[in-house]
Homo-oligomer: A and B are copies of this chain.
Amino acid sequence: MNFSSKILEEAVNALATLPGVGKKSALRLALHLVQDTSRKSERIAAALLKLETDIKKCSICFNISDHDTCEICMIPSRNQNVICVVESARDVMAIEDTGQFKGRYHVLGGVISPLEGISPQDLYIDQLLSRIKTEGIEEIIMAVSPTIEGETTIYYISKLLKDSGVKVSIIARGVAFGGDLEYADELTLGRSITLRTPYDVQT
């Protein structure tokens, strides 16, 4: 691309480091910002700087937080005996959006993946174990992705907890609500038959 401005070129290169943003999209965004007269660049820049400097990880659950302890861990009315174990802060948001879980979370920061060089030591697994010991946890719900890496992580953690008396459960897998059966993949459909649940006629 033939930039007539170094400043524009730098902005395009910076924006193109974002995931899913190519050079052409970055150029479109940068030109939009150049043409904008409402100081949008300034507002975005300020927000990104705050993201860099002010955001913390909750010291209890490692969720994203503005304070040392996150908003969820600070709510005393939430069930203190159940922990939902997730990969990332995004998953906490997704589960919170459902409104179906009233316990607390633990963000692992990823899943065990030998291929990507992520070992158990790179995740907040030790911290999870010490929470389980000190907080009187009765159940952990493993809400990680149903991938090979996710399954490995579930296996690893549940093995560590085998003799601890803590109940380990996993979120239900099966065909998605509203999805067409013919589009479900074979593995999911096959498993959903093996893992079928009794049907309750509600009266």
Contacts and interface: CB of A to CB of B under 8 A. Distances in A.
Interface of A: 1-8, 10-11, 13-15, 17-21, 25, 27-34, 39-52, 54-55, 63-66, 70-72, 88-90, 92-93, 96-97
B71 A7 contact: no
How many copies are assembled? Answer: 2
B3 A32 contact: no
Contacts of A92: 4
A30 B45 contact: no
A1 B99 CA distance: 11
B50 A7 contact: yes
Given A11-B47, A43-B14, A52-B42, A4 B93 contact: yes
Given A18-B44, A27-B93, A31-B64, 8 more contacts: A7-B54, A8-B51, A11-B48, A11-B51, A14-B44, A15-B47, A41-B49, A45-B48
B41 A71 contact: no
A96 B89 CA distance: 44
Contacts of A19: 28-29, 32
A123 to B, nearest CB: 13
Contacts of A51: 7-8, 11, 30, 33-34, 41
